[in-house]
Each structure stands twice: as structure tokens, then as C-alpha cells.
Amino acid sequence: MLQFLVEQLNEHLATHGTIVDVLLRSDQSLMEEQEIREVILTFAEEEQSEEQSGKPLATIHLFELEEAESCEVEVEVEFTGERTAEGTCVMWEQARALIPKISLTEKKRYLEPGQSVQTAYILDYHFILDSPKTEEEASQFARVLKQFSSDLGKLVRLS
């Protein structure tokens, strides 16, 4: 399921931006006989150079569930740089217009008390995709990926 989903996402996301990195992670539990497989895709509006490093980046985590019959998709879109409270609210409302259950996290890094040296805003959401077994399910699967790709392309372009 992971390989199939990565291939489909690569195809659908190509019209909305660029996949800039793909990682495969496999974790083996020392306590249980369980292996967790994850693919991490990094997606941006376009390839980024050093000067463009402040542009939003999306990280898509794909986790296999239930003996590879379904997959959890977790998405985080990170925006760096300071924003006003009003600007943050506007960005979140724009994101919620696309994905109603999206959440916003604000992270600040301090090296001295009262002096923020780095601020990041992270929009995140998740959903589960089941492996299609019928033609109708395959059609629905394709529609979901098409909508997801379109929404993600819009999210990485929010300002």
C-alpha cells in the first residue's frame, strides 16, 4: 500500500508543486514483535534555494495500518518567520476554508528570556485511506488524492 500510495501522490502532487525529498523509515519495537513502516515526503511549491528557505514546506507522513490494507496520512505545513496575531488568524481561517479540521501550532525558540530567535507556525491534519478493492473504491481513492493534492498545493502557497 505504501509504494502504491507514494506513486499515486507523486503523480497527483506534480501538478501542484514539487516533492523535494522522500524518506523510508522502518522502526522495530524491542518490546513487541512489531515493525512500523513510514514514508515521509517533503513537498514545496517549488524547488527551494538558500534564498527561498523561508517558504512553507509540507511534510507528509504515510503509515501502514492493519496489515497494509490502509494507510494513515499525516500532514504538517510549516511556516517560518514572525507573524502578527491577526496575520496568523487570517492564515488559519484560509486553511480551515480548505480543511475544516486543520489545527494550528505555534512554536517559538528562545536563547535568552524574552528574546524569540525563531518562530514557526504549523498547520496539521490527518486522514486514513483504505486500499481500493473495487473499481468504485479506486475511483473514490483517486478523487480523494486529487482533492488532497489540490488542497496541499494551496496550503503551501498561503502567506
CA 110 from chain centre, in angstroms, equals: 26
Give the Cα separation of 140 and 131 in Å (integer). Answer: 11
Q: What is the pLDDT of residues 87-146, one digit of tens each?
A: 999 999 999 999 999 999 999 999 999 888 899 999 999 999 999 999 999 999 999 999
Written as nine digits, the cell of 106 is 505555534
Q: What is the pLDDT of residues 40-64, one digit of tens each?
A: 999 999 876 544 567 899 999 999 9
Nearest to 22 by CA among 44, 39, 4, 1: 39
Residue 66 has pLDDT above 50, yes or no: yes
Give the Cα separation of 144 and 110 in Å (integer). Answer: 40
What predicted TM-score, i.e. pTM, was given to this entire model? Answer: 0.89
> Domain locations in the chain?
2-155
Written as nine digits, the cell of 58 is 509540507
